[in-house]
Amino acid sequence: MTPTKIEKIWDELENDNSFTHGLLIRRYSVDILPDVFVGLKSPEGFRCIAVLLPQHKTLNIASFSNLRDISVDIIPSGKNQNVGYLVFMLLNPEHKDIFSILCEDLLLSIAPIKREEKLFQELLNRFEKWKSLFDRASSQGLKPEEQRGLFGELTFLRKYMIFSSDIIGVLNSWVGPSSEARDFQMNNWALEVKTTLGDNFQKVQISSERQLDSTHLGMLFLYHIFLEIVHGAGESLNQVVESITNILGDDINAIHRFKAKLLEAGYFDHHRSLYGSNGYIIKQDKFYLVKDAFPRIQENEIRNGVGDVKYSIVLSACKEYEYPENSVFANLVI
């Protein structure tokens, strides 16, 4: 795979034999408004990114003090005592691929930010996500139900990409990996994906009172996929990932965004061998427009003191709400 821009900079810094101690940095891009740098901490050889931190700016980073694989620190500038650097550093080289994807995604996300306060808020918020991602990278991979759920979301994502010319917009609408209430949401519409298999294929589980709540939404859709698992046949989770990657082609920004979303969803390249043998065959898939008397529970219907609402829907009772696929995508305005 072709190295990313940030990986190329790290490689160049690692080959710079003239620098042996301290923090060696290089600006990532003049096209990014904030002062962001790619760095290398010597003599340890730790890869990092650094953001210029004015002397007057104070940040509370105490909650990041006991991390294992990554660290965050404030390092003074050796040349100018009025500034320093907020540094995000990789301590475990086994996770350099993950770190590279996350850094690229972070830099792209902050590229247009002009306000200093918003910049550092975004940086620290992103880092909070990074902490849990590195913990998940050391896990045993996605559970079977998580694999099926991700397969369903990626199946819809691929359909949406084929329909729309705004690939980045489509990727940004995929908010399921960020633990939002629904899997896809943009502007005034949202869509929830449900996958089922086995005898209860017409029954879907709803995990909260917000999932099918259309309050403040123009349109809310439910996409149901009935799967059959086949060993060594059908389409595997890895294959649908590869299929979407092929659609993205040479769009580097889109590829970075897609990889970052996959990491948030718990899909890591070093777990690929766990997902290659089982394939999925889509036996049936349907879209529903969630409105009016569609069988659901909405947040404003919950009495005070009631929480953790979970329930199931029998889709055979929802035939009148079925919605044509082309009409669904025609309404998903980015």
Is 114's pLDDT higher than 90?
no
pLDDT digits (tens, 9 = 90+) for 9-57: 999 999 988 888 888 999 988 777 678 899 999 999 999 999 888 776 7
To the nearest whole percent, how much of the chain has pLDDT over 90? Answer: 61
How far is the C-alpha of 47 from the C-alpha of 40, rounded, in Å?
5
**Three-state DSSP class for 21?**
coil
pLDDT at 2: 66
Structure tokens, 137? 């990278």
Q: What are the φ and ψ backbone dihedral angles of 27, each rounded to 5 degrees? A: -60, 135
pLDDT tens by residue, 51-80 = 888 776 778 888 777 778 888 888 887 666
What is residue 170's predicted lDDT score, i.e. its pLDDT? 97
User: What pLDDT is recorded for position 273?
Assistant: 95
In the predicted model, is pLDDT for residue 184 greater than 90? yes
- pLDDT score, position 183: 97
Quickly state the pLDDT bin for 1 (edges 50, 70, 90): low
Mean pLDDT, range 135-162, rounded to an integer? 94
Query: What pLDDT was estimated at residue 133?
Result: 84
| pLDDT reading at 5 higher than 70 | yes
Instruction: Kindly state the percentage of the chain with pLDDT values over 70.
Output: 97
pLDDT (0 to 100) of residue 41: 92
pLDDT at 3 over 80: no
Task: Tell me the pTM.
Answer: 0.88
Q: Work out the average pLDDT over 240-258.
A: 93
**81: pLDDT strictly greater than 70:** no
Residue 245 has pLDDT above 90, yes or no: yes
Mean per-residue pLDDT for 115-134?
Answer: 81
In the chain, what are the domain boundaries? 5-137, 144-331
111, pLDDT greater than 90: no
Q: Is the pLDDT of residue 149 over 80?
A: yes
